Amino acid sequence: MSFEKVGFGIIGTGAVAAVHAQAITGSDYAFLAAVYDVVPERAQEFAKKHGTVAVADFDAFLKTPGLEAVTVATPSGFHHDPVVAAAKAGKHILCEKPLDITLDKIDDMIRVADENKVLLAAVFQSRFKKAVAAIRKALDEGRFGKLVSVSAKQLWFRDESYYKSASWRGTWAVDGGGALMNQGSHTVDLLLYLGGEVKKISAHTSNILHKIEVEDSAFAQIDYVCGASGTLEVSTACKPGYPVTIEVTGTAGSAILKADTLARWTFVEERSEDEQIRRECAEGAAHSGGAGAAMDFDCHGHRAHVDNLARAIRNGEKLMLSGRDGRLAVEFIQAVYESSRTGLPVILR
């Protein structure tokens, strides 16, 4: 079947933009039409490397012929303005995580996208992992029985040079927080994807190792709407950094996700496909998934996001993660910060 590729532009040509460029240029559904950065020389150099054009004027960039969608890869607290401008120009949007750092700004982004009838997709590429899809499917089929516990640990490491690599990192004003808002938001999204909506959070955050104003460690006790409970531990102070683990346990089954792999896949009622699932999810990727260094991951998840948005634009495919889905992670994270500040639990629903 022939597919008319969707022209993507990238706004913000820093570290993660290179992953997006690889994802787009290798996609069967998209091509890289142009890039833009507030620092024009950065965009020029990036464009040369990735075989596209840099446009120095933002309005002219949005008018690039063939441009139908933009990837927003600016610092986290600077997502709102480019998203809103792109939506008003009629462009569909793939926005890096977290969607932005306050719920007010995120609500505005969702509202403007709706008003302009463009799609707003949020990046949390871990959702596309084969092992995550297997757990989600087993949950949909009721194979875990009644959920008892959905918990996660993301005990990673970032050195001082990471926090010094750009002035916005590790700041309340633009990073919106530390280990939890930045690195941990991926794992928060997976907890919400697998455990469902959250009713109550009690949390504590601290700064154990780094000279930054925000937390480098966060700990939360979670009560889900479905009746299950769980815990979350996130840090960037744990050298050398360990794989993310997510444990889903119910009255009739249990699964442990360890980075990309399934370290446990056990059900009271074993099915014929289980052995194959264990085999297919036994092999991990060659990279650390970002456990020890910021950009130590590949572009597969981002390509899945690009493909999904392009097919959603052309064929109406459902977005893996809408703006509203992406908002939930920021709501959770803000509740952790509030609970840590006040020493009280936060009731979300």
Residue 261 interacting with ligand NAD (CB under 6 A): no
Residue 281 interacting with ligand NAD (CB under 6 A): no
Residue 97 interacting with ligand NAD (CB under 6 A): yes
Q: Which of 42, 88, 199, 287 binds ligand NAD (CB under 6 A)?
A: 42
Q: Which of 27, 64, 74, 340 binds ligand NAD (CB under 6 A)?
A: 74
CA nearest 102: which of 122, 71, 77, 135? 77
Q: How far is the CB of 286 from ligand NAD (least distance, A)?
A: 17
Distance, in Å, from the CA atom of 234 to the CA atom of 313, rounded to the nearest integer, reads 35
Residue 78 interacting with ligand NAD (CB under 6 A): yes
The amino acid that residue 265 corresponds to is: W
Phi and psi angles of residue 316, each rounded to the nearest 5 degrees, phi first: 75, 15
Residue 16 interacting with ligand NAD (CB under 6 A): yes
Q: Which of 9, 82, 195, 243 binds ligand NAD (CB under 6 A)?
A: 82
Residue 56 interacting with ligand NAD (CB under 6 A): no
- The burial of 104, by beta-carbon neighbours within 10 Å (0-12 exposed, 13-18 middle, 19 or more buried), is given as exposed
Site string for ligand NAD, 130-149 (x = CB under 6 A): --------------------
Where residue 176 falls (left for φ over 0; alpha for ψ -120 to 50; beta otherwise) is left
Distance, in Å, from the CA atom of 279 to the CA atom of 170, rounded to the nearest integer, reads 39
Q: How far is the CB of 18 from ligand NAD (least distance, A)?
A: 8
Residue 166 interacting with ligand NAD (CB under 6 A): yes
Nearer to ligand NAD, 82 or 170 (CB): 82
Nearer to ligand NAD, 295 or 344 (CB): 295
The amino acid that residue 322 corresponds to is: S
Distance, in Å, from the CA atom of 349 to the CA atom of 344, rounded to the nearest integer, reads 15
Residue 13 interacting with ligand NAD (CB under 6 A): yes
Q: How far is the CB of 98 from ligand NAD (least distance, A)?
A: 7
Window of 6-14, 241-249, 254-262, 315-323 that interacts with ligand NAD by CB under 6 A: 6-14
CA nearest 176: which of 323, 78, 292? 78
Nearer to ligand NAD, 138 or 320 (CB): 320
Site string for ligand NAD, 206-235 (x = CB under 6 A): ------------------------------
Asked whether the beta carbons of 256 and 246 are under 8 A apart, the reply is: yes
Window of 13-21, 133-141, 151-159, 189-197 that interacts with ligand NAD by CB under 6 A: 13-21
Window of 33-41, 156-164, 250-258, 273-281 that interacts with ligand NAD by CB under 6 A: 33-41
Q: How far is the CB of 69 from ligand NAD (least distance, A)?
A: 16
CA nearest 209: which of 241, 232, 246? 241
Asked whether the beta carbons of 182 and 175 are under 8 A apart, the reply is: yes
Q: Could you tell me the CA-to-CA distances from 226 to 141, 147, 151 in Å, in that order?
A: 15, 8, 14
Structure tokens at 330: 């920021």
Structure tokens at 204: 């504590």
- The burial of 270, by beta-carbon neighbours within 10 Å (0-12 exposed, 13-18 middle, 19 or more buried), is given as exposed
Contacting residues toward ligand NAD, per CB under 6 A: 11-17, 36-39, 42, 73-76, 78, 82, 96-97, 123, 125, 166, 182
